[in-house]
Amino acid sequence: MTDLKDELAALRIDRDDEMPGRPWLKWMALLVLLVGIAGVAWWWLTRERPVTVQVAAVTSRGAGVQAAVLNASGYVTARRRATVSSKVTGKVVEINVEEGMAVREGQVLARLDDASARAALALAEAQAESARRAVTENEVRLVEARLTLGRVEQLVDRGLATPADLDAARTTVDSTVARIDALRQQVTVAERQADVQRTELDNMVIRAPFSGVAISRVALPGEMVSPVSAGGGFTRTGISTIVDMSSIEIEVEVNESYINRVSRGQAVTAVLDAYPDWEMPARVITTIPAADRQKATVLVRIGFDALDPRILPDMGVKVTFLRPGDEGATAQQPTTLAPKSAIRTEAGTSVAFVVRGEIVERRAVAVGGTDADRVEIHAGLQSGDRVVLNPPAELTDGARVVVQ
C-alpha cells in the first residue's frame, strides 16, 4: 500500500515548480487579458451604429401634365334625385316603371285605387247641378214676382189696392233676388267642392316630377302607399326613385386645413374607382360655405366637363385639384418630383439624403413648386433615386443606415 502511494505522489505535477523564480509572469498574462477585454468593450460601445430610416423613390411627372395641389376622395351624386310618392294614402293598382327605365316629366308611373275618389266627385258634381237648377227655378219666380209688382203698382194708382199690397209685392221681389244670390253662391261652393274631388282623383295618378332614369322600384300592385310612414311598417312611402342624369356631379370633403388650395372654377382631374385608367376633366363648382365641426372638413362640389353614361350615382371617385394658372403653360419636359418630407433646409439650403447601399449621400437640391404632397426638383436628384423621409438631425453625409 505504501509503495502505491509513493508512486502516485511521484506522478503529481507541482505548479509552483513549473516556473521557478518567475511568478510575475502570471500577473502579466492576467493584465494583458484584462486590457484586451477592456479594448473590445470600448470598441463595442463607441462603434458607429447604423441609423434606421424610411425611404421613398423620386418620381417624375410627364411632359404636358399639370401639377396637383391636393388629392381627395368623394362620391358621384345627382343634384336632382327624388323618391316619388303619392300625396294621399291608397292601394296601388298599377305600376308602369321598372329599374333602369328612362322616364319623361309628367309620365304616369303608377295608379292608386280611385273608386272612392270617383264616387266623391260624382256626388260633388250632382250637388253643383242641383244648386244650378235651384237658381233657375228662383229666376223664374223672380220674373213672376216682378210682373205682380207691376200690376199692384197700377192698382194702387187707380185706388184699387192698398199701400200694404204694394209693400208685400216689393218684398216678394227683393226676397227672391236675395234667394237667387244665395243659391248662386251655393253653386260656386259646389263647383269648388267638385274641383277638390277632381284634385283628389288626380292624386290617385302618380307622375314623374322631372325627366330622368328610374334607379329603383319600391312598391308593387296591391300594396298600400302613403306620404308618411304608417301601418307598422307595412305601408310603403315611395313608388320609385328617379335620378336626373344630367345633374351628375362630384362631392368631396376636403380637410379644412387644405381648403385654401381650392377655388371656384379650378381645374380638377377625376378618376372613378370603377375605371382607374380613365381620367376625366372637371372643374370646381363651388365650396359649401360651412364646415363640419366633428370631421373638420368642408364640402366641395365638382362638375364634369362632359358627362358619360358610365358615370353612375354613388360611385366612388378620386379627384386631383390642379395648380391654378397651369392651363396652357404645362412643362414641355418631364419634371422630377420628390416627397416634401425628404427635403431638409440647412442654413438656407435645401438638402436631401440619397441612399446608396448602406451609406447615405447628402445632396444640395434646387426645389420649385409643389405637386400635392410632392415638391418639384430642378437639380440635385433624378427619377429613381431613393431619398430618406424625415431625415433625423444626427444623419450626416456618409452615415450608415438601415432601411426600415
- More confident of the two residues 90 and 13: 90
Strand partners, 56: 387
Quick: pLDDT tens for 102-160.
999 999 999 999 888 889 989 999 999 988 898 888 888 888 888 888 888 888 888 78
Q: Give me the torsion for CA of 296, 301, 305, 306, rounded to 10°.
A: 110
Assigned C-alpha cell, 332: 414641355
| Cα 94 to chain centroid, rounded | 35
Closest CA to 250 of 232, 262, 258: 262
d(CA 319, CA 322): 9
* Predicted confidence (pLDDT) at residue 327 exceeds the cutoff of 60: no
Distance of CA 275 to the CA centre of its chain: 19
Q: Which fold has domain 81-113+204-243?
A: OB fold (Dihydrolipoamide Acetyltransferase, E2P) (2.40.50)
**Boundaries of every domain in the chain:** 52-65+331-403, 68-79+247-322, 81-113+204-243, 115-199
Residues 6+ apart with CB under 8 A from 39: none
The angle, 0 to 180 degrees and rounded to 10, between the axes of the packed helices 163-202 and 115-158 is: 170
> Between the ranges 135-144, 283-292, 330-339, where is the mean pLDDT highest?
283-292
Reported as type and span, the H/E element at residue 115 is helix 115-158
Q: Supply angle C-alpha 189, 191, 196, rounded to 5.
A: 95
pLDDT at 76: 94
Q: Name, in order, each residue with C-beta under 8 angstroms of 344's C-beta and a sequence gap of 6 or more.
A: 350, 351, 352, 353, 391
CA pair distance 34, 41, nearest whole angstrom:
11
Residue 9 burial (10 A CB sphere; 0-12, 13-18, 19+): exposed
The pTM of this model reads 0.60
Confidence of residue 45 (pLDDT cuts 50, 70, 90): low
**Can you name the CATH fold of 68-79+247-322?**
Elongation Factor Tu (Ef-tu); domain 3 (2.40.30)
> Of 376, 359, 391, which Cα lies nearest the Cα of 50?
359
52-65+331-403 placed in CATH 3.30.70.2170: no
Q: Is residue 170's pLDDT more than 70?
A: yes
**Banded model confidence at residue 220, pLDDT cuts 50, 70, 90:** confident
Burial class (CB in 10 A: 0-12, 13-18, 19+), 234: exposed
| Alpha-carbon span 96 to 162, nearest angstrom | 77
Question: What is d(CA 315, CA 77) in angstroms, rounded to the nearest whole number?
Answer: 8
| Residue 219 exposure: Cα atoms within 13 Å on the Cβ side | 33
